[in-house]
A = this chain, B = another copy of it.
Amino acid sequence: MTRQGFAIGALSQQSECNIETIRYYERIGLIPRAERRGRYRYYTNEDADRLRFIKRARSLGFAIEEIRDLLRLTKSGSDDGIDACADAKAIALLNLNNVKARLDDLKRMEAVLTDAIGACDRDIFRGCPILATLSGTYKTDEHGNLP
């Protein structure tokens, strides 16, 4: 570190983002092109903050393009605060719905899998309950469909 700022390895540790991921984010323009000294990228605390923001948003399921929008909102002037919050809320709601849909899907999977695996131990069944479930010949509902 010649004067100030830190190289990509330090940023990676601070933000808990993979080095390759950081370079990827730069490539797609999610973070600005880093200042260079020589060939090396050098970063500030502001860059680290931005990256931690991204990391948190990703861990909450936001898509890259949503995060792009959210980042833009953080930069809007204080006059736009209420608008920005409404926009952020709209994006978060979309994401929440997405998360809920995926939850419903996974809950259904969990139930069916748990059932089929349980049957392996419990049932004396002509054949394998798991393979039968997948073949559509086990515990079908009144329409002949798996739950």
Contact = CB atoms under 8 A, between A and B. Distances in A.
Interface of A: 49, 52-53, 56-57, 59-61, 70, 73-74, 81, 84-85, 88-89, 91-93, 95-96, 99-100, 102-103, 106-107, 109-110, 112-114, 116-117, 120, 127-131, 133-136, 146
> Chain copies in the assembly?
2
Given A56-B136, A57-B134, 20 more contacts: A53-B134, A53-B135, A59-B109, A60-B113, A60-B134, A61-B106, A61-B113, A70-B130, A74-B131, A85-B131, A89-B117, A89-B120, A92-B130, A95-B113, A96-B113, A96-B117, A99-B106, A99-B109, A103-B107, A106-B106
Nearest to A53: B134
Contacts of A128: 73, 81, 84-85, 88-89
